Structures are given as C-alpha cells and as structure tokens.
C-alpha cells in the first residue's frame, strides 16, 4: 500500500474530566453515571443519535431479572437496577416500553421480556443526558488517541466542524469496536466469532397474523403479552421454531440468516427481525464490511418477501427501519485486568470487587446460570491492561465466546456502563489511576446510584 504523510496539524482543544467514547448501550449509562458524580463529561458518538445497538439490533433488553421461572422455587429478583432501570422508568412515562412483562412461553430462555420503542429510546436518551449536563457530541467520530507513557491525554475526533482534540483525566471506551483502546495502544485481538447483522423493523404487518402462522404449525417457542399501542395484554414477543415451519419459509429463512424472534410495542409493527451474515474477516475490515452491508440489504428484501408470501396479514409488509450500519456482536476484544470465564458465569461466582450482578445467558436453556443465580462482574474486568486512566464497558470485554454470550447483552452492558462511568469520574476527582481507586469508594457510589449487589 502507498502512503501519504500528513503535515503536523494544530487542533482546537476541549477539556473535560471524563470522556466517554461511544454513546451506545453502555455509553449512555456511563455518561449519566459520570455526570452524576459532578464531573464535566463529553460523550463522543459517531451517529446522530444515542442508544447504539440497544436501538438497532436486538429484540428486547436482556435481562433485568434472574431466570427464576426456569427454576421452580427460586425467588424472583430484579438484579439490574440503578440507571438502567431509570431509563425504563422514563420510557414507561411516554409509552416507550412494555416494562418487564413475564414470558408465558420460552421462560427457560428469559423470564421477562423488556421491549422498547427504539425511536422513543433515542429521544429519552438525549433528554436524560441533557438534563445531566453532558456535552453530547453526536456526528463525531473518534479517530485517534494521544498517549503519554501509560496515560491517555486526549482523543482526536472528526466531525463537520473539523478535527478536534478532547482532553480529559479519565476515559471510558464504550465504542463496542474498542476503537479508543486500539488507538491508545491497548492489547487486543479480533476473534470474528459471530455473524454480523442488520436488523429491520417491519411495518404493514399483523402481529396476530404472525402469531396465528406460528400457532398453525405448533411452532410457538416464545410468547409474552403486555402493553401494546396503549392496550394491555397484547402479544409483545414471539419466537417460532424454525424446524416446524413450512419448508419454503424454513429453508429461505436459514439461507438469509433470519431469526424468527420479534418484539413490538405497536400494532402493525415487528421490531426487530434479525438478518445475519458471517463475514470472512473481522468487521473492523472496512472493505469486507462494505460487502456485508450490501449483502444484508439483499437479505432484508428477501425477508420481506417471506413475510408477504407466507404470513397471513403481512401481505403488505415493508421495511420501516433498518440500522444505519452493521450490527456487530463483537469487534475487538480488549485485554483487561481480569477476563470473566464461562465457569464464573455458569457457577454464579461473585468477586470481592463486584460492580454489578447479572443473571441472563443468551444460550439458555443450553447454558444456564446455575439455579437461577447471578454472577458478579468485577471492577478489574473493566480496567484496560497497561493503561492507567482507561476503562472499557460493553461488548468489548470477555474472551470466552460462551461467557461473552452473557456479558455482551444489553442490560449487562448498561450495568457495566454505570460502573465504568462512576469509576472514571471518581478517578478524575481524586486524580488517581483506575487501579488506585479504593473499591469501597466505588461500591458506596454505586450503591448510592441504586446498583443491586448480592455479595
Ligand atoms: C443483531 C444483534 C442482535 C442482538 N440482540 C440482542 C437482544 O435481543 N437482547 C440483548 O440484550 N442483546 C442483544 N444483542 C447484544 C447487544 O445489543 C450488544 O452486545 C450491546 O448492545 C452492545 O452494547 P455496547 O455499548 O458495547 O455497544 P453499542 O451499543 O454498539 O455502542 C457503541 C457505540 O459506539 C459508537 N462508536 C463506535 N465507534 C465509534 C467511534 N470511533 N467514534 C464514535 N462513536 C463510535 C457506535 O456508533 C455506538 O453507538 C444483539 C446484538 C446484535 C448485533
């Protein structure tokens, strides 16, 4: 490859206590948590809105609860509270979520369904960050890091304003891709162990029609009822057993990597239908990602055809929304001071430096956390190895694929965000490294922020 040398540039500078890179699932919560510690915060987000994959890829927020329904006699516990729950409370006020409704079928996978209206979520996220006094730098891409020794001094960005430098005392990488960590020289790998996706919201459909279609083939694997379009006790979640569906539907769904799971908070709308595609290389490869984007658009069109042809009431189905860019389950895996193992997850282990507890596994019922228990995520698992003022939160931690199938879910990422944002702000206030922050201080602040612990 040929190269072009960029002459030295003078960049305008902004100064903060904490910079949160990525205003997605974890980043929104991290920014709120940091701001509530009284810190001056900027959140840098490449898209024009906040919320990340929570509003782009998944069907519901997994999970605020332990898996109590799968284990008779086990107590029902809301195990993630704090700021993630505050977001749900705000959404409830404006009809933006079902709240936590109990699963009727498929409760050995998750005991509750928390479905959201993605567009209301984006608006509520803006409102909450504005109220907290966060500088919301959307349409701004983080492009590099300025590092001295083992300290990140600042990050460079690109926007229509031009290039800028954001200086801060502490940083949290919530980019999912791990861009900040990579630019700062952190150790990382790129496992490429998942398919990428571009999930679509489908309009012009009948939710009841989809239900009847699955029922007619005795194929209902998941079902939840809750509020929808202002009416109680409506279908809000469905999953079909693909094997039982007509061969024409089944084989084409398999060919395009289409999942049959969907949730909704509106009549006539399915949010989302996931289309998957396994890239030959990591999604950080721009040229390969471009091919995946194009292929997924073709798969979306084929998915719409399937609904039109096979599902009664969906003859006029259309794509009502799609993701502006690939939905990834993992980009870079960042080396942190502790790597959560599958045993930690399944055995329900807790640590002396827990920052949250969590009770959901995306491979359930094949892999379940023992007896409906929770495991703890230790503070060490968020501390980026080799750097003194950089934390990571979200899908970019946890190397073991099957352990990651738990820690990468939205509500786990949100909880990590609260811890990382709180810790970063406390470090900035004390002028200390992430490793010198006393755990008791962090724990006290998290408890004051409503975080639930089991040890
Ligand atoms: C198709 C799919 C379906 C899923 N289904 C579910 C589900 O049903 N339930 C569930 O609980 N979980 C689900 N997950 C998992 C879950 O959604 C994600 O793991 C989680 O939301 C990741 O959160 P995050 O904060 O790490 O990343 P994100 O939410 O992706 O946030 C990262 C943010 O950083 C921004 N960003 C990235 N790079 C830069 C940069 N250089 N500069 C500025 N901004 C940047 C991005 O635009 C984004 O907003 C699904 C994931 C996928 C891909």
Q: What tokens were used for 197? A: 């996706």
321-340 pLDDT, tens digit each: 999 999 999 999 999 999 99
Which pLDDT band holds residue 5 (cuts at 50, 70, 90)?
Answer: low
416-426 pLDDT, tens digit each: 999 999 999 99
Alpha helices by DSSP H, listed for 185-323, are 207-216, 247-255, 286-310
CA dihedral 63→68→69→75, nearest 10 degrees, is -140
Q: What tokens were used for 156? A: 């460079």
The third-level CATH classification (topology) of the domain covering 13-100+117-193+331-448 is: FAD/NAD(P)-binding domain (3.50.50)
CA distances from 280 to 195, 288, 291, 351 (A): 9, 8, 11, 37
257-301 pLDDT, tens digit each: 999 999 999 999 999 899 999 999 999 999 999 999 999 999 999
- Is residue 10 pLDDT above 90, yes or no? no
Task: Compute the radius of gyration of the chain from its Cα atoms.
Answer: 21
Confidence (pTM): 0.98
CB 99 within 8 A of CB 114: yes
Question: Considering only CA atoms, which of 199, 158, 186 is closest in space to residue 327?
Answer: 199
Strand partners, 167: 15, 154
- Is residue 51 pLDDT above 90, yes or no? yes
Ranges of each domain in the chain: 13-100+117-193+331-448, 196-322
- Is residue 9 pLDDT above 90, yes or no? no
Q: What tokens were used for 249? A: 């539907």
- Is residue 136 pLDDT above 70, yes or no? yes
Tell me the C-alpha distance between 188 and 278, whole Å.
21
Q: What is the mean pLDDT of residues 4-26?
A: 90
Q: How far is the CA of 27 from the centre of ligand 1 (A)?
A: 10
- Is residue 252 pLDDT above 80, yes or no? yes
Average pLDDT for the chain: 97
List b or e across 14-49, with b for residues whose CB sees 16 or more CB atoms inside 10 angstroms: bebbbbbbbbbbbbbbbbbbbbbbebbbbbbbbbeb
- Is residue 225 pLDDT above 70, yes or no? yes
Task: From the CA of 175, give the closest atom in ligand 1.
Answer: 34
Residues with CB under 6 A from ligand 1: 22-27, 44-47, 52-54, 57-62, 141-142, 174-177, 179, 197, 199, 274, 327-329, 394-395, 408-410, 413
Alpha helices by DSSP H, listed for 132-218, are 179-183, 207-216
Q: How far is the CA of 60 from the centre of ligand 1 (A)?
A: 13
3-state secondary structure (DSSP) of residue 298: helix
Q: What per-residue confidence (pLDDT) applies to 8?
A: 75
Tell me the C-alpha distance between 127 and 25, whole Å.
15
Q: What per-residue confidence (pLDDT) applies to 4?
A: 66
| Number of other CB atoms surrounding residue 149 within 10 Å | 7
Cα first-last separation, the chain: 54
Q: What is the mean pLDDT of residues 225-240?
A: 97
56-108 pLDDT, tens digit each: 988 899 999 999 999 999 999 999 999 999 999 999 999 999 999 999 999 99
Q: What tokens were used for 435? A: 């490793």
Query: Which residue's alpha carbon is nearest to atom 41 within ligand 1?
Result: 142
Q: How far is the CA of 49 from the centre of ligand 1 (A)?
A: 13
């Amino acid at each position: 490859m040929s190269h072009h040398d960029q002459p030295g540039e003078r960049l305008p500078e902004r100064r903060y206590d904490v910079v949160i890179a990525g205003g997605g699932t974890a980043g929104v919560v991290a920014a709120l948590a940091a701001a509530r510690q009284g810190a001056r915060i900027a959140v840098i987000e490449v898209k024009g809105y906040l919320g990340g994959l929570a509003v782009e890829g998944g069907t519901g927020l997994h999970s605020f609860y332990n898996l109590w329904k799968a284990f008779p006699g086990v107590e029902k516990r809301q195990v993630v509270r704090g700021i993630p729950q505050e977001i749900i409370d705000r959404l409830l006020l404006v009809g933006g979520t079902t709240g936590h409704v109990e699963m009727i079928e498929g409760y050995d996978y998750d005991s509750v369904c928390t479905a959201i209206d993605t567009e209301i979520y984006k608006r509520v996220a803006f409102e909450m960050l504005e109220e907290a006094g966060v500088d919301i730098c959307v349409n701004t891409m983080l492009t590099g890091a300025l590092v001295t020794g083992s300290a990140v001094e600042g990050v460079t960005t690109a926007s229509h304003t031009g290039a800028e430098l954001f200086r801060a005392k502490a940083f949290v990488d919530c980019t999912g891709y791990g861009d900040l960590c990579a630019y700062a020289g952190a150790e990382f790998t790129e496992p490429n162990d998942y398919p990428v996706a571009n999930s679509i919201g489908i309009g012009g459909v009948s939710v009841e029609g989809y239900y009847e279609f699955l029922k007619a083939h005795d194929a209902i694997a998941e079902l939840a009822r809750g509020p929808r379009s202002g009416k109680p006790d409506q279908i809000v979640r469905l999953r079909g057993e693909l094997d039982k569906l007509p061969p024409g539907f089944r084989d084409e769904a398999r060919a395009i990597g289409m999942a049959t799971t969907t949730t909704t908070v509106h009549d006539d709308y399915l949010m989302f239908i996931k289309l998957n595609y396994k890239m030959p290389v990591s999604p950080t490869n721009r040229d390969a990602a471009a091919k995946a984007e194009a292929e997924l658009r073709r798969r979306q069109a084929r998915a719409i055809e399937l609904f039109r042809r096979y599902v009664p009431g969906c003859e006029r189905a259309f794509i009502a929304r799609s993701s502006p860019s690939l939905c990834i389950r993992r980009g870079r895996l960042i080396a942190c001071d502790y790597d959560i193992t599958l045993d930690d997850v399944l055995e329900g282990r807790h640590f002396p430096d827990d920052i949250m507890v969590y009770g959901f596994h995306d491979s359930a019922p094949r892999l379940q956390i023992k007896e409906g228990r929770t495991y703890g995520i230790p503070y060490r698992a968020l501390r980026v190895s080799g750097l003194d003022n950089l934390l990571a939160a979200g899908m970019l931690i946890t190397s073991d694929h099957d352990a990651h199938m738990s820690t990468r879910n939205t509500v786990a990422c949100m909880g990590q965000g609260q811890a990382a944002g709180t810790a970063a702000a406390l470090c900035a206030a004390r002028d200390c490294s992430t490793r010198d922050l006393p755990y008791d201080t962090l724990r006290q602040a998290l408890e004051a922020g409503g975080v639930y612990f089991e040890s």
